[in-house]
Structure 1
Amino acid sequence: MTSPTRVLVLNSGSSSLKYQLLDMRDGSRLAAGLVERIGEPGSRLVHTPLAGGGERRERTAPMADHTAALGAVAEELSADGLGLDSPDLAAVGHRVVHGGLRFSAPTVVTDEVLAEVERLVPVAPLHNPANITGIRTAMALRPDLPQVAVFDTAFHTTMPEHAARYAIDTETADAHRIRRYGFHGTSHAYVSRETARLLGKDPSEVNVIVLHLGNGASASAVAGGRCVDTSMGLTPLEGLVMGTRSGDVDPAVTFHLRRVAGMSVDEIDTLLNKKSGLVGLCGDNDMREIRRRIDEGDERAKLAFDIYVHRLKKYVGAYCAVLGRVDAVVFTAGVGENAAPVREAAMEGLEQLGLAVDPELNAVRSGEPRLISPQGARVAVAVVPTDEELEIARQTYSLVSN
């Protein structure tokens, strides 16, 4: 009997469930989909068979909770001959946002592991509860199957203490788990490794600055395959300017808003996480729309773009200093992969650091990893599409197949 080779990847949100089914013999996708508005009127499932050329299907029906949603997913997979009861299914890999310091690698879920993930809810209140719900739902459906947690924070646990610590009272920090954890770790791990492959080198030989630019955005400094610094901190709020998050801000801004504006803690939290960043600066968080407005002479959109790029440059420069030697700067995620003007502007003026983009190469649209720096450049500039689901599946399968 052959060993099972399929991995189901689940990414559970508070009212959504994204999934992909992959065959780990070649990393191919067999099916993918999304359930949204779980627990709300008009729940919708969009399912796409990716093996055998099946057509995309939609169903709209009440789904009261994640159990109902995953049951509907199981039905759609079964209709394609890919049922969750298949002996070919090796494990379910779950994206879990916050693993703290304890989880530095993919981990088979046990009651003890779940308890620790629950203890981390105060530092990830928007994400960990939903991730836990997804795990419990899958465990109930297939209690015999390994459930593996793959943590967004795990890749960043290699940061040295001088990069991970905030300069606040140590006892207070330790008592409340206050330190820099970083996020988007599966993306940074995948992209840094694929960048080394693009350069024809082993990851241990390469120093890379990864710029993961989506609605959420983060940067990392990766030395020889290990993260040594990253822009997000205790929460995903720190760092780069994002779609709706402010990124770096003077901590005293929060005190000022409380004392002078009379805003509550929750109101300030909402302001910085949901009403700031690009949307706060110009009313849009879609880079395509911002660029369209700039082309029409919109000064507010232009300022938002310039602030966004300025923050990017600051982090690139800082990470050049942290790494000492940089072999590549790589752009990834929705904005990083598709917004050529962002890449061009972020590298403009950094020629003394060995950084530049070739306009023609930068303008090419492709789903493949590629170099966009001029031939012979001292530092490679690259675009590498991220694949967090494949990374989760790889880590999951590696753990359960050994």
Structure 2
Amino acid sequence: MTKIMAINSGSSSLKFKLFEMPNEEILVEGGVERIGSSSAIFSYKFEGKKVAKELEISDHEAAVNYLLSVLIDEKMITSYEEIEGVGHRISHGGTYYEDATLIDEVVEERIGELGVLSPLHNPVNLIGIRSFKKVLPNTKQVAIFDTSFHYSIPKKNYMYALPYEYYEKYGIRRYGFHGPSHQYVAEESAKLNPNGKKTITCHIGSGASVSAVLDGQSINSSMGFTPLAGLVMGTRTGDLDPQIIPFIQEKEGLSPQEVKELMNTKSGLLGISGVSNDYRDVEKAADEGNERAQLALDVFAHQVVHYIGAYAADLNGLDTLVFTAGIGERSSRVRTSITNYLTYLGVSIDEEKNNKNELSIEADDSKVKVLVIPTDEEIIIARDVMRIAKLG
């Protein structure tokens, strides 16, 4: 048996799972939330026991070091050499990587270079890689890119109507993100609806994207050249008229970097509601009569509906609709607000099943299978480590 660590670093979080492969048994799983805070939360589940601690974790390197010390201190492993491979989810692979790859200095350099296109993720992904390398210098490290699953998108779907030279010189095109999540739920949905060839997967969390999947392959996805495009998100704008950017720069006297920060960290649910980037907080405010909070929820849902409609056209129909990620898995409200506008596609949900967050929530008369599948990006990461590093 082979022990594989799957690492999923977010802008202020780090999730991990230690697997025993190839039987895919989870030995320990957990995460660190609110990294950079004096009240960060480190939690894990091991041998049926759940533990959560509040402590100061200054950055991602500190989070990695603390995690590795806990593995030894709590006797989850007897030595670091037991971990034969570490897989890191990396946001942007650019034109460099159509598949996962073993990490070397060149790969690290490219991940860092692409940080300008994924500023909330690639830089902290790179910190995670280097932190693990310090403690596990002889362990094979593998990069699994969010963009890889979407390399099957046809050229007519990924090209932007800019001068073609910018595609040739800079690789400006639609890439798509959340690849491991879309891949996992698409594979699981195919098991649950084997005759369903035309699938739309909705990864709805603080970051959010919709993908069109035909016969298991991505043919379109809402995020674009960067993870900023597409849906309204927790703090990200999603799609907007590009002329707005120089307009705001001129009117507000902002630098390009300040505009990037505005669009990436001050917009989305937070920007419209003025309440929070957390869907749960915005939902609560809306229930208390906050009109801007309700508007944020309505805009959020409408954008998902907009992309589902577009991708049903791309697929020339729809067999299966999948909701996943934090909001998609847990909010019956968001699923109702989206599916209410999809009756023309034959979508109908059973509200009792929906309110219970059941796996299959379509009504008996629905022409489309509607699934709520908890995502598991980490198992995709672990499988890719085994395949790329040729372990086991």
TM superposition score normalised by structure 1: 0.89
1:65 & 1:296 partners in 2: Cα distance?
36
- Structure 1 residue 401 corresponds to structure 2 residue 391: yes
Cα distance in 2 between the residues matched to 1:63 and 1:251: 36
CA contact (8 A) 1:90 1:397 kept: no
Residue 27, structure 1, aligned to residue 10, structure 2? no
Q: Deviations over 1:267-318 (max 9, x none)?
A: 2222221221111111233333333333333322222222112111110110
Please state whether the residue corresponding to 2:252 is helix, strand or coil.
coil
Name the structure 2 match of 1:332.
324
User: Residue deviations 1:6-29, cap 9 Å, x none?
Assistant: 111123456654322122244232
In the alignment, the residues of structure 2 paired with residue 302 and residue 119 of structure 1 have an alpha-carbon distance, to the nearest angstrom, of 39
Give the Cα separation in 1 of the matches to 2:334 and 2:57: 41
Q: Does structure 1 residue 148 correspond to structure 2 residue 142?
A: yes
Taking the aligned partners of 1:393 and 1:401, their CA distance within structure 2 comes to 11
Name the SS of the counterpart of 1:23 in structure 2: strand
Are 2:68 and 1:79 aligned? no
Structure 1 residues 48, 319: closer, same or farther in 2, change over 3 A?
A: same
Match of 1:385, SS state, is coil
Return the offset for 1:61: 6.2
Matches of 1:41 and 1:313, distance apart in 2 = 36
- 1:166 matches 2:163: no
Which has the larger displacement, 172-181 or 17-26?
Answer: 17-26
Where structure 1 has 5 or more consecutive residues not aligned to the other structure, the ranges are none
Residue number in structure 2 paired with 1:193: 187
Give the counterpart of 1:128 among 122, 135, 139.
122
Give how far 1:336 is off: 0.6
Q: Secondary structure of 1:391's partner?
A: helix
SS of 2:19's partner is: strand
Distance apart, 1:391 and its partner CA: 1.9
1:56 aligned onto 2:64: no
Q: How far is 1:231 from its partner?
A: 0.4
Q: Deviations over 1:69-107 (max 9, x none)?
A: 433322211123333735543311111111112212221
Which residue of the partner structure matches residue 241 of structure 2? Answer: 250
Whole-angstrom CA distance in 1 between matches of 2:191 and 2:50: 34
Residues 135 and 84 of structure 1: is their aligned pair in 2 closer, same or farther, counting only changes over 3 Å? farther
2 CA distance for matches of 1:41 and 1:285? 17
The 3-state SS of whatever aligns with 1:371 is coil
Separation in 2, partners of 1:350, 1:44: 40
| Code of the aligned partner of 2:371 | A
SS in structure 2 at match of 1:182: coil
> Which of 308, 314, 321 is the equivalent residue of 1:322?
314
Alignment of 1:175-194 (within 5 A): 175-194=169-188
* Secondary structure at the counterpart of residue 395 of structure 1: helix
Letter in 1 for 2:283: R
The CA distance in 1 between the partners of 2:146 and 2:217, in whole Å, is 14
Please report the RMSD computed on the Cα atoms of aligned residues, expressed in angstroms: 2.5
Opposite residue 374 of structure 2, the aligned amino acid is P
SS at match of 2:334: helix
CA distance in 2, matches of 1:259, 1:61: 40
Question: What per-residue deviation string (whole Å, max 9, x for no partner) do you get for residues 2-49 of structure 1?
Answer: xx42111123456654322122244232223434676x6848572424
> Residue type of the partner of 2:320?
A
User: Are residue 95 (structure 1) and residue 84 (structure 2) matched?
Assistant: no
* C-alpha distance in structure 2 between counterparts of 1:206 and 1:346, whole Å: 22
Aligned to 1:300: 292
2:362 paired residue among 373, 376, 382: 373
Q: CA deviation at 1:376?
A: 4.3
Report the Cα distance in structure 1 between the residues aligned to 2:78 and 2:33, rounded to whole angstroms.
20
Match of 2:211 in 1: 220
**1:208 CA drift (Å):** 0.8
Contact 2:95 2:171 in 1 (8 A): no
Mapped to 1, the partners of 2:367 and 2:197 lie a distance apart of 13
Deviations 1:111-136 (A, max 9, x none): 33223323323322332222222222
Change (3 A) 1:351 1:15: closer
The 1:280–1:15 alpha-carbon spacing in structure 2 relative to 1, beyond 3 Å, is closer
Deviations 1:124-159 (A, max 9, x none): 233222222222222232222211111111111111
Equivalent pairs counted in the alignment come to 390
**Alpha-carbon spacing, 1:385–1:18, altered in 2? closer, same or farther (3 Å):** closer
Q: Distance in 2 between matches of 1:305 and 1:166?
A: 29
Is 1:344 paired with 2:344?
A: no
CA contact (8 A) 1:75 1:83 kept: no
What SS does the aligned partner of 2:137 have?
Answer: coil
Distance in 2, matches of 1:122 and 1:86, equals 33
Name the CA distance, whole Å, in 2 between partners of 1:240 and 1:158: 21
Structure 1 residues 350, 286: closer, same or farther in 2, change over 3 A?
same
The answer to whether the 8 Å contact 1:337/1:384 transfers is: yes
Instruction: Give me the identity figure in percent.
Output: 39
CA change 1:41–1:343 in 2 (3 A) is: closer
Opposite residue 145 of structure 1, the aligned amino acid is T
Contact 1:158 1:226 in 2 (8 A): yes
Name the CA distance, whole Å, in 2 between partners of 1:353 and 1:41: 46
CA drift of 1:165 comes to 1.1
